[in-house]
Structure 1
Amino acid sequence: MSKPSDSKGKSRAAGVDRRSLFLMGGSAVAAAAVVPLTGGEAVADESQAERVKARYKETDHVKNFYRVNRY
């Protein structure tokens, strides 16, 4: 009988194996998620007048939605 080939030794000698490649990729994604994309504070896009205006209006299509879905 012949001996089975040692494929693990060949792939490790050639470079990075598949499992460690995925581990490195996953840790790189996690590290990128931790790093903030902007250095400054967030700025609101709306003015003071837009902040205080009424936003929700119970129009006919909203009333119809509530009626159909029994809210």
Structure 2
Amino acid sequence: MHDKQQTGINRRNFLRAVSGASTVAVATAAATFTPSEAHAYNPGEEEMGTRYQETDHVKAFYRVNGYETLEK
């Protein structure tokens, strides 16, 4: 039925080419990536001093979720 040869690129070949090119790009980017050492953030004393306040609703949360049974 179809005796004509297709010239150009059809949808299936286009998707194969795009996926192959993206795979090569990701592999190249991963190969050139050099990880560096992670450093922890130290907020300091003044930033941590007043954040945690054990209010009544915090105590109720601990009680309801069974955290007071974890005390030694």
TM bucket (normalised to shorter chain) is 0.3 to 0.5
After TM superposition, the score normalised by the length of structure 1 is 0.42
